[in-house]
């Protein structure tokens, strides 16, 4: 990714950051009851799955938008005065967050497509998103594990990212405020 | 017992070869080439299809007593199949087919009427989950040919029921009450092995 240096994050970049964060947390929170619900609660189970799939597709679209904006507008310079290892750790952490935020929805799409129960993916409950592959129980079982593990890793990394932001904030640095208000 | 309209009897006699059908003959429905599919709708958004793997049935034609002619089919309710094992367990459970209490579903025709060339209306009754309700099926003869079993005739039979009429009232918010049936049936016309 080109690291063009901008003065600040643009308003669109800041808003997209928070929208993606909120959607990831919501999608993650929905996932557990959605899987645990018995088939006797079919309607609710179906609606939770479709909400989860819609959120995943939104995250994917917004992440692609973020990548585009980042390539065009760049990012502010890293925090001054941080030791090199912290800068490298931050860069690796951010790259992993971008990668996982893209990979988890893509993996989720393939989980849905290979699932033995052929339930369509209905974006916002109305737009049928075609499945480019069919049911495949072996692939489904593997993809499901990877999707879940990657999602857990994403949320753990995002929590670490939030903890770092909070730590800088408590040390009097302005990044968290700047990301929120510009 | 079921009875045919006279026109239908003539059509069916022509189908099997009038010379042979001088008394009651029973023709097996060959399930190896048949399929009983059912389809429900979910919120009008998409459909789910399942089918029964095991069933057997007979087409009885009695030239001398047309009222003794008809179709009888018995379906092994426990042989219900869906793409996902959890769905199969759900459909076998008491709120659905309740296969422990009601292992078989049965259809018996009460009257068969012609509905155009190669088309038949089959009125009858369906016994499902211990409840018997009238049912109308539309049968279309799609082809005849000679193969290893002898002379065979292929039919596509369609119809619909309201599952609530049979006491299957669960989960109506997500699974439509109307259940469509699509049956592919092959009747073995070579009566030698099946004649009574």
Domain ranges of chain B: 3-193
Reported as a single tens digit per residue, the pLDDT across B30-70 is 777 788 999 999 999 999 999 999 998 888 877 677 677 78
* B44 at interface of A, judged by CB pairs closer than 8 A: no
Reported as a single tens digit per residue, the pLDDT across A106-116 is 999 999 999 99
User: How far apart, in whole angstroms, are the C-alpha atoms of residue B110 and residue B26?
Assistant: 16
Q: Which CATH number do you get for residue A50?
A: 1.20.950.20
A39, A116, A118 ranked by CB distance to B90: nearest = A39
User: How far apart, in whole angstroms, are the C-alpha atoms of residue A160 and residue A171?
Assistant: 16
In a domain, A58, yes or no: yes
Q: Give the nearest chain A residue to B89 (CA atoms).
A: A39
Decide if pLDDT at A64 tops 70. yes
In a domain, A2, yes or no: no
Reported as a single tens digit per residue, the pLDDT across B14-24 is 666 544 545 67
Residues of B in contact with A42 (CB under 8 A): 171, 173-175
Task: Tell me what the pLDDT averaged over chain B comes to.
Answer: 85
Residue of A37, A41, A42 to mutate for B, most B C-beta atoms under 10 A: A42
Q: Which helix (H) or strand (E) holds A30?
A: helix A11-36
Residue A72: φ, ψ to 5°: -80, -45
| Residue B119 CB partners (closer than 8 Å, separation 6+) | B138, B139, B140, B141
In a domain, A170, yes or no: yes
* Number of independent structural domains in chain A: 1
Reported as a single tens digit per residue, the pLDDT across B91-135 is 999 999 999 999 999 999 998 888 888 898 999 999 999 999 999
How much is the pLDDT for B192?
43
Question: CB distance A42–B171 less than 8 Å?
Answer: yes
User: How far apart, in whole angstroms, are the C-alpha atoms of residue A48 and residue A53?
Assistant: 9
Three-class SS of residue A120?
Answer: coil
Question: CB distance A42–B46 less than 8 Å?
Answer: no
How much is the pLDDT for A118?
86
How much is the pLDDT for B10?
63
In a domain, A143, yes or no: yes
Closest Cα to residue A177, out of A168, A2, A150? A168
Q: Give the nearest chain A residue to B42 (CA atoms).
A: A43
State how far the alpha carbon of A133 is from the alpha carbons of A52, A151, B87, in Å.
20, 22, 21
In a domain, A5, yes or no: no
User: How far apart, in whole angstroms, are the C-alpha atoms of residue A140 and residue B116?
Assistant: 48
Range of the domain at A45: 11-181
The complex's ipTM works out to: 0.79
Q: What's the CATH number for B3-193?
A: 2.40.128.110
| CA-based R_g, chain A, Å | 18
């Amino acid at each position: 990714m080109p690291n063009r240096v901008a003065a600040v994050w643009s308003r669109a970049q800041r808003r997209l950051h928070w929208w993606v964060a909120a959607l990831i947390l919501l999608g993650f929170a929905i996932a557990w009851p959605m899987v645990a619900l018995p088939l006797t609660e079919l309607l609710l189970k179906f609606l939770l799955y479709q909400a989860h799939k819609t959120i995943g597709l939104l995250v994917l679209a917004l992440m692609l938008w973020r990548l585009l904006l980042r390539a065009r507008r760049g990012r502010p310079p890293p925090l001054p005065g941080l030791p090199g290892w912290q800068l490298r750790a931050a860069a690796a952490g951010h790259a992993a967050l971008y990668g996982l935020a893209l990979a988890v929805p893509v993996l989720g799409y393939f989980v849905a497509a290979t699932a033995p129960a052929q339930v369509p993916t209905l974006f916002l409950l109305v737009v049928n998103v075609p499945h480019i592959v069919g049911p495949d129980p072996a692939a489904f079982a593997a993809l499901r594990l990877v999707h879940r593990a990657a999602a857990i890793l994403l949320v753990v990394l995002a929590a670490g990212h939030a903890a770092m932001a909070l730590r800088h904030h408590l040390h009097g640095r302005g990044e968290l405020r700047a990301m929120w208000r510009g | 017992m079921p009875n045919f309209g006279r026109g239908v009897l003539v059509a069916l006699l022509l189908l099997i070869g009038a010379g042979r059908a001088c008394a009651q003959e029973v023709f097996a429905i060959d399930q190896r080439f048949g399929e009983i599919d059912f389809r429900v709708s979910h919120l009008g958004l998409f459909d789910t299809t399942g089918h029964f793997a095991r069933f057997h049935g007979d087409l009885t034609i009695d030239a001398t007593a047309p009222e003794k002619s008809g179709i009888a089919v018995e379906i092994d309710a426990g042989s219900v199949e869906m793409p996902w094992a959890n769905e199969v367990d759900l459909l076998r459970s008491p709120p659905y087919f309740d296969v422990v209490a009601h292992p078989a579903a049965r259809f018996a025709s009460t009257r068969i009427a012609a509905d155009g060339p190669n088309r038949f209306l089959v009125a009858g009754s369906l016994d499902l989950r211990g409840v018997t309700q009238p049912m109308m099926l539309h049968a279309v003869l799609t082809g005849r040919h000679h193969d290893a079993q002898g002379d065979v005739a292929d039919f596509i039979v369609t119809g619909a029921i309201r599952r609530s009429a049979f006491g299957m009232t669960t989960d109506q918010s997500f699974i439509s009450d109307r259940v469509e049936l699509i049956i592919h049936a092959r009747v073995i016309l070579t009566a030698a092995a099946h004649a009574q």
